[in-house]
Amino acid sequence: MDFSLTSEQQALLESVDRMMAVHLPPEEVRRRDRAHEPPDHMLRPYADLGLLAIPFPEEYGGLDGPWITVTLAHERLGYHASMAGSLFSTTMGFGGMSILTYGSDAQKKDLLPRLIKGELRFSLALTEPGAGSDAGALITRARRVDGGWVVNGRKTWISGADVADYLVTACRTAEGSEGTAGITMLLIPRQSKGIHMTELEKVGNNCLTSWDIGFDDVFAPEDAVLGEEGRGFRHLMSTLQFSRAGQAANVIGQSQRAVDITVAHAKERVQFGRPIGKFQVVAHRLADMQTRVDQARFVLYHLAWLVDQGRRCRKEAAQAKMVASECLQYVTNHGMQILASAGYALESDMQRLWRDSRLYTFGEGATEIQRDIIAREMGV
């Protein structure tokens, strides 16, 4: 087992650091968080660096690179800012990997080269008011008409929908179907007539905008079907390892950032005549924080390795997502305690990491559901 990075991977991570210093430095991250302004300008720099090309075949302009390289880059983006990691996740996971895994040849030829150039954005429109963890309870309906489909229904908590070119929308297409059967994924242009969007306010992840979307007789042409008609849920499951690995990478990057901020503070802040890190209770907490991050990181790298081997990894994908999201809550909670008032100030990066952390144990599949999956994979 070899954990060393190749010289190309090392160089790529250094390039990510340089790109972030130029296009999204810490003060700009803070400003955007306060202004709730997504870092949409970053897609072009990502493309220039080749980040969006890594996992895609050369015939579409990709680099045919391994998933571990995507993971390393993603983790580094998350280290700099959750908003940078989220932009990468939604573009790659919800868009690129879905199209690559179950799109038609025509869709791949049309969409992947543009995605790789940073010209296209996607949002996954799955969740509905009555269908969260139980995604199979969705009722948004796509009815067949001449030349395509007419969609009616409502989706909620859809990330980045305002700037998406396409909404990757899960619709019930089979008349009378229930549960996970009879669902079809449709690539619906976000500018389509009949789409109405309302922004949702929330406590963190300010730069990942969230939208409630009404579909009111929205027409989608025949070639909007992504994958096979009626097999949308299976298709969604087939890309979960990418989206879960993506979220875990982003979250582990943020976790390492939280630990580094806390260590720096513990070395610098003096109380009772010594740096607070010299108090054993603080030092032990720091040791536990770093250990949790390293544990989560190894689970993630193992997942990336399995993905690259083309091996089954449903359990490991659920584990990586669960361990990473719980890790971030653990380290930001302890980080807040160690920074105390310095972390509670709105100008502190720690409070942003702490607020953002609350999302990940339920967004994109709650930890309770991940535990169910792990137990099922264990044959329980």
Ligand X SMILES: Cc1cc2nc3c(=O)[nH]c(=O)nc-3n(C[C@H](O)[C@H](O)[C@H](O)COP(=O)(O)OP(=O)(O)OC[C@H]3O[C@@H](n4cnc5c(N)ncnc54)[C@H](O)[C@@H]3O)c2cc1C
Residues contributing to the site for ligand X (CB under 6 A): 123-127, 132-133, 157-159, 202, 205, 210, 359, 362-366, 368-369
The active-site residue, picked from 201, 364, 368, 377, is 364
Distant-in-sequence contacts of 25-32, Cβ < 8 A, 24+ apart: 26/349, 29/80, 29/81, 29/83, 29/84, 29/349, 30/347, 30/349, 30/352, 32/83, 32/206, 32/207
CB of 244 to ligand X, least distance (A): 12
C-beta of 69 vs 247, nearer to ligand X: 247
C-beta of 209 vs 351, nearer to ligand X: 209
For the question of residue 364 being annotated catalytic, the response is yes
Q: How many CA atoms lie within 13 A of 109 on its CB side?
A: 3
CB of 200 to ligand X, least distance (A): 8
Give the β-pairing of 166-172 and 122-125: parallel
* Contact between 294 and 53 (Cβ < 8 Å): no
Using the 8-state DSSP alphabet, how is residue 135 labeled?
Answer: G
Distant-in-sequence contacts of 188-196, Cβ < 8 A, 24+ apart: 188/125, 188/151, 188/215, 188/218, 188/220, 188/224, 189/165, 190/123, 190/161, 190/164, 190/165, 190/166, 192/218, 192/219, 192/220, 193/218, 193/219, 194/151, 194/218, 194/219, 195/167
C-beta of 202 vs 302, nearer to ligand X: 202
Residue sitting closest to ligand X (CB): 132
C-beta of 105 vs 201, nearer to ligand X: 201
How far apart (Å, rounded) are the C-alpha atoms in residues 280 and 264? 16
How far apart (Å, rounded) are the C-alpha atoms in residues 283 and 48? 41
| Closest-CA residue to 248 (of 46, 38, 35, 93) | 93
- Quickly count: other Cβ atoms within 10 Å of residue 10's Cβ: 12
CB of 258 to ligand X, least distance (A): 19
Q: Which two tokens stand for residue 152?
A: 């009616």
CB of 46 to ligand X, least distance (A): 19
CB of 318 to ligand X, least distance (A): 13
CB of 301 to ligand X, least distance (A): 25
Using the 8-state DSSP alphabet, how is residue 131 labeled?
Answer: B
As annotated, the active-site residues are 364
